[in-house]
Amino acid sequence: MKDYYAVLGVPRDASETEIKKAYRKLARELHPDVAGSAGEERFKEVAAAYDVLGHADKRAQYDRGVDPRSASGAGAGPQGFGFEDIFETFFGGGGGGGPFGGAPRGPASRTQRGGDTLVQAEVSLREAVFGVSREVLVDLADVCGTCHGSCCAPGTSPTSCRQCNGTGSVQRVARSLLGQVMTTAPCPTCGGYGSTIDHPCGECSGQGRTHSRHTVKVDIPAGVATGTRIRMTGAGDAGVAGGPKGDLYIEIREKADPVIERRGDDLHCTLEVPMTAAALGTVLSVDTFDGPQDVDVRPGTHSGSTVRLKGLGVGRLQRSGRGDLHVHLDVVTPTDLTDEQAELLRRLATLRDEETPDGRLAPIGGGVFSRLKDAFMGRER
């Protein structure tokens, strides 16, 4: 059984698009009008391979070890050559109007969907936490107010094309493997539309749309981050000749906060704690996006300790709930002691037998360095 995959030069797991692309490339190179009679046999092999691999049912039979061309006798007739694809490869369209094609296609529509538009909106971290309504300026195409999308000057209308008689296509004779065949191509005069606009609208230059600046209100949900895109269906550019509008995309840029950092859905901040308060324990107030919150500093707190305030983080995008706020405690050692304060600390050192302390290495997993390392690794994750 012939290896059709090898004939087309594609792997056995090639997609339908890859097979079609390989076939068209080889067909152009090997067509007798290009390669002469020397490439005729090879051209037939390529066409036969595509007749099998280019059709899902035949390819499935072939992959099971059955050559559908041999089984059905398809190799002897012209139906095995994929003429519709050959016409499309060489002539830009199907063989309409000829002995192997159907009726010519109808005229193309001038109406086209409008393009999608992308604009950026900057939000603060607070706005990303809770969501916000924002107005953005964007230049958009609108249906022309003069011709209302008809593309014609007021009082006029499109004229039926004289060359194609309104069909949008013309027929021509082209050479092929089987001799001369009749093919169909878009009319060069009207571009395939079947009509011409002899008096285009002066306001929109015959496009059926004009451009202007708009103020668009967009609801930005909680949880957005830099790179998040919000799609507003049907809010983009109006289409050509009265076509439907495209979509508007709002791309978010999140501005960093000076004191609170975001890591996913969680927020992190650092709270400075006086040395005495860390030793004795206290309750401190910290400003959050939800207002002042109490932070319980336990007696003997070390630098690098963290207090988690649940549910005070970022709102989860398209999900319920919020992340947490992690308050990192930084114990501040005083450097501007008065004589009296220094004397009190010396008395405390005497009472604690710490006048001449011995340095001790902290065990692995404990101490300030380890806590700082854990905090850093958590940030990296």
| pLDDT beyond 50 at 334 | yes
Claim to verify: residue 132 and residue 212 sit in the same structural domain:
yes
Residue 33 DSSP SS3: helix
Claim to verify: residue 307 and residue 236 sit in the same structural domain:
no
Question: Sorting pLDDT into bands at 50, 70 and 90, what band is 35?
Answer: low
Question: Sorting pLDDT into bands at 50, 70 and 90, what band is 92?
Answer: very low
Structure tokens at 292: 């002042």
Radius of gyration of the chain (CA): 37
| pLDDT beyond 70 at 378 | no
- The CATH number that applies at residue 360 is 2.60.260.20
How many domains are contained in the chain? 3
How confident is the model over 158-173, as a mean pLDDT? 88
Question: Using one digit for the tens of pLDDT, what is the confidence trace for 242-273?
Answer: 899 999 999 999 999 999 999 999 999 999 99
Instruction: Of 270, 374, 289, give the one whose Cα is nearest residue 328.
Output: 270
| pLDDT beyond 60 at 102 | no
Percent of the chain with pLDDT strictly greater than 70: 80
Claim to verify: residue 12 and residue 43 sit in the same structural domain:
yes
- Rounded Cα–Cα distance for residues 325 and 375 (Å): 14
Q: Which amino acid is at 244?
A: P
Claim to verify: residue 268 and residue 251 sit in the same structural domain:
no
- Residue 308 belongs to some domain of the structure: yes
Claim to verify: residue 131 and residue 233 sit in the same structural domain:
yes
In this structure, how many other beta carbons lie within 10 angstroms of the beta carbon of residue 230? 16
How confident is the model over 196-202, as a mean pLDDT? 92
Claim to verify: residue 124 and residue 251 sit in the same structural domain:
yes
Strands 266-274 and 261-263, sheet pairing: antiparallel
Q: Please return the burial class of 168, using the count of CB atoms within 10 Å of its CB with bins 0-12, 13-18 and 19+.
A: buried
pLDDT confidence of residue 356: 76
Residue whose tokens read 């009319």: 187
Domain membership of residue 44 as a residue range? 4-81
Structure tokens at 198: 């002899």
- Residue 284 belongs to some domain of the structure: yes
Claim to verify: residue 231 and residue 298 sit in the same structural domain:
no
Q: Yes or no: say if 65 and 1 are a contact pair by the CB < 8 Å rule.
A: yes
